[in-house]
Chain A
Amino acid sequence: MELTQPHSHNPASEIARQKRAEVVGGGHSFGSMTDKIAAIVLTSKTPIGWFAGFGLAFTLMALGLGSIGALLFLGTGVWGVNVPVGWGFAIINFVWWIGIGHAGTLISAILLLLRQQWRMSISRFAEAMTLFAVACALLFPILHTGRPWLAAYWLLPYPNTMALMPQFRSPLLWDVFAVSTYGTVSLLFWYVGLIPDFGNLRDKAKGFARYIYGFLSLGWRGSAIHWHRYETASLLLAGLATPLVLSVHTVVSFDFSVSVIPGWHATIFPPYFVAGAIYSGFAMVLTIAIPLRKFYGLEDFITMRHLQNMAKVMLATGLIVAYGYAMEAFYGWYSANQYERYMIWNRMTGPYWWAYAALIFCNGLMPQTLWFKKLRSNVSFLFFMSIIVNIGMWLERFVIVVTSLHRDFLPSSWGMYVPTVFDWALFVGTIGLFSTLLFLFIRFLPMIAIFEMRTILPATKEPSPEGTAVQS
């Protein structure tokens, strides 16, 4: 089905071609694109850099496993948590990872429904990133409990001889449902999206890999009926996933806002958390996309238009997050509640002032640079910004969890939270786990949806610009 590069004559289609060229560059044909993307997976030569990166990631993951071992063997005490700060790195990291896990589904589901074609090249690895982030996040709620071997199933409403059900009034239980649903739907969505590409890889792969991709492709033959069902399933899952994007972080924010603790007990939390999640999710997509397109030469597929669009989303959500900070401070003052007032004052000037100051710098000031097109189109700067935002969003959770708890109502119980080496090791370990999974992903699965990318190639569009037919 090789088609030759078409050339156009009329100015309107010329403009349309240029616009599309921002989403796919380099004058690719179906074949060249498929080869380019599939070659990363099917090549027998794994780049040295991959091994270096994977080795580093795996080492960090092993460090995290060591930390988990110490935790299970010795107890929660290896962490820095105490009374009053009963939650520390575990919950901070949980919320942070869950937030990062928002971008993938948002890109795939919501932008799919909104027919934003620019999403196609980044949706696959954004979804993968979501899954991996959710996997990292899921570690924490279980590990942070005092008895993880019981928490692993006692939080589930299973019939038992004690006739005991979980406490349905507890936000932690809502978390269990919200996160597990989100994880499941994200996994399904990602996998369903991969099926046509598995079929493609099966056809191209040689040797044993053929069987694996063949198995994973679930008998995909690319028939019209397959495509029809695939499209329906994708839409259905997108429809299912869309409310989940909003609900997951809303429910996670309930962990805090349902409590009575000043600094947690705030009605603004759900929207502010969701915006923050998308903000950090896009930052993480940038953090991954920029090196990827560089090392694998994917500038044609992940173009400046993608990067700029993501920067715009970051700017928009960053503004919502900054609004949230402003409102928190405003509520503290306007509520005339001495505990709220003290809380916000303590955040700004107390022992953890540096965290709050750094947070405002990362999430309040720095995103404003994205108003400038010059900076938005500077790849290095965008990478730097994405790191800043990731740090900022982690600090946000640190500020929320630690500074609210460490000084609540009774000054006699006030304390400090100092993370231990095990806290750090587990945090770094989850970054290692995330990166390890990501390295495996880019090595063994097509990181860009090949079949989707074809739909936006000029070759697809030119003959029938209004058509949405997909070819395989």
Chain B
Amino acid sequence: MDSNRFEHLDLAAVRAKLSSERGPRFWRSLDELAGTKAFEDFLHREFPRFASEWDSGDSGRRKFLQVAGASIALAGLTACTRQPAEKIVPYVKAPEDIVPGKPLFFATSVSMNGVGAGVLAESHMGRPTKIEGNPEHPGSLGAADVFAQASVLQLYDPDRSQTVLKYGEIATWSAFQTDVAELRKSLQGRRGAGLRILTETVTSPTLASEIEGILALYPEAKWAQYDPTGPHGARLGSQAAFGEIVGYHFNVAAAKVILAVDSDFLTSGPGSVRYAREFADGRRVRGGNYQMNRLYAVESTPSNTGGKADHRWAMKPSDIGPFLAALARELGIDTGSLSPGQAPSWLKPLADDLKANAGASLIVVGDEQPAAVHALAHAINVTLGNAGRTVIYRQPLEARPADQVGALKQLVADMESGSVEVLLIVGGNPVYNAPADLNFSAALDKVRMRLHWGLYNDETAERCQWHIPGTHALEAWGDVRAYDGTVTLVQPLIEPLYKGKSEFEFLSAFGEQAEKRSYDAVRAYWQKQRPGADFEAWWRKVVHDGLVADTAPAARAVALRAGWQSGLTFSGAGNGLEIIFRPDPTVFDGRFANNGWLQELPKPLTKTTWDNVVLLSVRTAERLGLRAQDEVQLHLGGKVVAGAPVWILPGHADDCATVHLGYGRARAGQVGTGIGFNVYPLRTSDALGGISGLEIRKTGGKVTVACTAEHWSMEGRHLVRQGTIEDFRAHPEHPAFVHAVAHDPPPEFSFYPEHKYDGYAWGMAIDLNACNGCNACIVACQAENNIPVVGKDQVDRGREMQWLRVDRYFEGDLDNPRVHHQPLPCQQCENAPCEVVCPVAATVHSDEGLNDMVYNRCVGTRYCSNNCPYKVRRFNFYLYADFVTEVTKMQRNPDVSIRSRGVMEKCTYCVQRINQARIDSKREDRDVRDGEIVTACQQTCPTQAIAFGDINNPESRVAKLKKEQLNYGILTDLNTRPRTTYLASLRNPNPAIPDTAAKV
């Protein structure tokens, strides 16, 4: 709109014109009245600019062809579509064109610590909206963890760096190139002396070859990789055991007895999605098969893996090494100088069990454990003959396997000495997360030229002269290795939203060739690897599948180095408490601090959100006189971290405290800045996993922590039902632990007539034996159903919006309880208490048994929520949905409405997916096939714990599961008759070991 428009109007003339008119005269604007040129133009042209060029008089054949050509090109573009120009191949099938309303799926990958997860990205009209697992990918098998799924929100983060910055001022890419050209000249003169490249772990073959190319160009340059939460101890441990850094992954499917030593291999770290699946498959007891694997866990910080364990023992970090040494001795291994700790009573039965299953046993050690513990585990695994069976040794994933901490130390030393002229920081945020003793930040000042490439204008970017906004994994091409080494392709779904540059483009500025686009780099690399004439066909298949088949390195034989024990020590117990550093279960090392979904995702065991806490055992907290949410200061080695809240976690080891990394960010963005406390200042390079000497000082203050489930106990209610495999084997037809309460009331108990379901009757069964509480389903639901993030204050008030929650209960001993996880979507009751109480009939029963929520009709009395015994309903107390930020709107699933203020909402069983399948089936004149509808939670579940389908069809998977003897519903004595039922969980304890979580 022309702001000066009214100045051009002669209002007197308008008046005169009006007075001369006869009869009613309607006018739309003063422009029209005045008959201005602008208005004439407006009337004339539907699209004011260029649209009616056609009538400009000089239109000839050429012009016609130009315009026709342009319009054909334009027709191919749909609104909002920002499809990259390079050839990308849709995963399922390639339709002629995009069908509006039909999503396409593309295979790609998102990575963490250099290891890629195979995913499918769902694209609506060119907008990636959701990340799901890639069923053909070995690391995914169709499932995805919380981080991979939440990365789609990161793509649309409005706080992502949007422009090239020079000294913090907006600059241009070409200015950067000019500057770099200068730099390049001076560097080349010195053979690259003074050039350092710092990256995160690089497993990408293409990126590695690009970096190698640059290093070849500047022979004196050096490359260091660092990830704050990488497997540093594991690398050194394998080096100690085998004499070189050896990579390995696990074949959990082959393991009958597993010992997890401070390892959460089921829900965190590379391969966890696959491991969780294999572990769950090894425990599915169906149809007269009573075989189950057995998991022992020894850990300091309670984890999801510990929660699934048949036997779990809490042990402080300094006891873990000696315990493993004792176990090794029990198994006849010479541990040399690694002196064993006192053998607990259960050590021998454990060792016997491992020995009895030699070759089918598995010792898994957490990445944070020191080298000595890893070396011991290798020794045990090799001695038991597990190598090559349950532990697959192979080449490391990294292109340049190295002791990353050592390399970083060297880099910082060089920086300190002033020998680093130019530092390229490609990803990562070392100013925030480098080990505190290295003092990276101070050393950075001594580097003359600092260049940063990254997604965010973060703590590190602020300290660099140049900052180049990076591309998200969904914006650029690339490749990366999966947990087993399979090369996984990264393909973009969208042009960079914020003019970001890929790392290839960034690095190519230092190379000799012209700017290299990511597509060219990746394609050229693979063309070199596969020079045949059939490359094009092969490439298309690779892009389609999202992975390069047979690129996983072959398994290799390993032999323990003689005298492997020498030089290894355990971190001894010192004075004070022991501190344990762990990546956060939701914001990881801090990279997801600005991701609302992950911030609001309840941490699996504490159910806290938006904060990190100091986790203490019940006994230690009592000893220190601390209560939950007490504000404390952490004193360690002369450093102090203040403002930390205490949280008490039953099952935590005594005399130690766990703190999670990733909080206290200074420049994360509007979501993550200033939340929680930063513990990196306490973390030193020699003790990345933890150290003793911690002192906790109470300040007397309180820090509010928003927790979604403060109550620990089931209060004797039979919500999660669990028994042992022996109980089940003894009473397969009527296991007592499943039928703990009186039988359900008969249908005629209801006052109202029965519903009739002639067609489909949707139902769900959730196998608690498989569920490990990993939270993937919650994020899937959040992405699929456009669930808003409400913030810490609202969560604290009990107003979190997640439709699906995972309930966590502790059972038994306060010091070492059993942990149960129970995903709780809407139960879709047959006799739904919510339906009858809604005065405006906004929640009604569908003829397929769904409890439908009609948002438009809802006036928000909240009576339905009050009357829901499962409390699965969520209310929009405020206008939670973001109707303002344009870019985040692109993430929304167009098939699900955005709810406004004052409206109740809840799980719909992904009714949009049901309807899609129904439409498809009707068009093909058939019934919906079993398995055709996959709810979002079911789709992403790593353990396939969730089954969904038509319970009217006795052949459906869900109907069969509901016939299992382990099947039960919760609160069925209320005659709600829930459509969601559960399969009781089973344990397989070692009869020779007394129950470790004795009931209280």
Contact = CB atoms under 8 A, between A and B. Distances in A.
Contacts of A146: 858-862, 875-877, 901-904
Contacts of A144: 861-862
A412 B807 contact: yes
A259 B833 contact: yes
A469 interface: no
B498 interface: no
A86 B862 contact: yes
Nearest to A165: B841
Nearest to B874: A83
B841 A409 contact: no
Contacts of B835: 167
A83 to B, nearest CB: 6
A408 B974 contact: no
A169 interface: yes
A169 B836 contact: yes
Contacts of B902: 75-76, 145-147
B51 interface: no
B860 A145 contact: yes
Interface stretch (B241-249, B512-520, B791-799): B791-799
Given A145-B902, A147-B903, A155-B859, A405 B839 contact: no
A146 B971 CA distance: 29
Contacts of A412: 709, 711, 805, 807-809, 822, 824
Contacts of A155: 839-840, 859
Interface in A266-287: none
Nearest to A151: B859
A170 B833 contact: no
Given A145-B902, A146-B902, A411-B715, A77 B866 contact: no
A216 interface: no
Contact of A259 (B715, B838, B867, B874): B867
Nearest to B807: A412
Given A165-B841, A167-B840, A170-B838, A86 B719 contact: no
Contact of A172 (B794, B863, B971): B863
A76 B877 CA distance: 5
B878 to A, nearest CB: 4
Interface string A53-84: 00000000000000000000011110011111
A75 B840 contact: no
B859 A166 contact: no
A85 interface: yes
Contact of B799 (A82, A171, A408): A82
A258 interface: yes
Interface string B894-911: 000000011110000000
B873 interface: yes
A87 interface: yes
B877 A338 contact: no
A416 interface: yes
A154 B839 CA distance: 9
A166 B863 contact: no
A3 interface: no
Nearest to A170: B839
A177 to B, nearest CB: 11
A147 B840 CA distance: 12
Most buried by A among B712, B862, B903: B862
Contacts of A166: 839-841
Contacts of B752: 169
B719 A410 contact: yes
Interface string B850-861: 000000011111
A365 interface: no
Given A259-B837, A410-B869, A416 B798 contact: yes
Given A173-B839, A408-B871, A86 B863 contact: yes
A462 B989 CA distance: 96
B167 interface: no
Contacts of A410: 717, 719, 807, 824, 869-871, 970-971
A145 B877 contact: no
Given A75-B879, A81-B862, A409 B869 contact: yes
Contact of B857 (A77, A80, A164): A164
A414 interface: yes
Contact of B837 (A85, A172, A338, A413): A172
A366 interface: no
A342 B835 CA distance: 26
Interface in B714-737: 714-717, 719
A443 B807 CA distance: 59
Nearest to B843: A167
A171 B903 CA distance: 19
A151 B860 contact: yes
Interface in A361-399: none
B865 interface: yes
Most buried by A among B808, B870, B903: B870
Given A410-B719, A410-B871, A83 B837 contact: no
B172 interface: no
A150 interface: yes
Interface in B788-835: 794, 797-799, 805, 807-809, 822, 824, 833, 835
B798 A82 contact: yes
Most buried by A among B833, B839, B862, B904: B839
Contacts of B860: 76, 145-147, 151
B791 to A, nearest CB: 11
B777 to A, nearest CB: 15
B867 A261 contact: yes
A235 interface: no
A408 B717 CA distance: 11
A171 B841 CA distance: 12
Contacts of A147: 858-860, 901-903
A411 B711 contact: yes
Given A166-B840, A261-B867, A408-B869, A87 B862 contact: yes
Contact of B878 (A77, A169, A411): A77
A26 interface: no
Contacts of A185: none
B58 interface: no
A415 interface: yes
A75 B809 CA distance: 33
B871 A83 contact: yes
B209 interface: no
A260 to B, nearest CB: 5
A442 interface: no
A338 B716 contact: yes
A237 interface: no
Contacts of B865: 83-84, 86
A176 interface: yes
Interface string A396-433: 00000000010011111111100000000000000000
A148 B719 CA distance: 37
Contacts of B833: 259-260
A260 B840 contact: no
B48 to A, nearest CB: 38
Contacts of A80: 797
A258 B837 contact: yes
Interface string B642-674: 000000000000000000000000000000000
B798 A85 contact: yes
Given A84-B798, A146-B860, A415-B710, 20 more contacts: A75-B877, A77-B794, A77-B878, A84-B865, A86-B863, A86-B875, A87-B863, A145-B861, A146-B903, A155-B839, A167-B836, A167-B839, A172-B863, A258-B837, A408-B871, A409-B869, A410-B870, A410-B871, A412-B809, A414-B711
8 contacts: A77-B877, A80-B797, A84-B798, A164-B841, A171-B837, A173-B839, A410-B869, A411-B719
Q: Which 8 A-B pairs have the closest CB atoms?
A: A146-B860, A146-B902, A82-B798, A77-B877, A86-B862, A412-B807, A413-B871, A172-B839
Interface of A: 74-77, 80-87, 144-148, 150-151, 154-155, 164-167, 169-173, 176, 255, 258-261, 338-339, 342, 405, 408-416
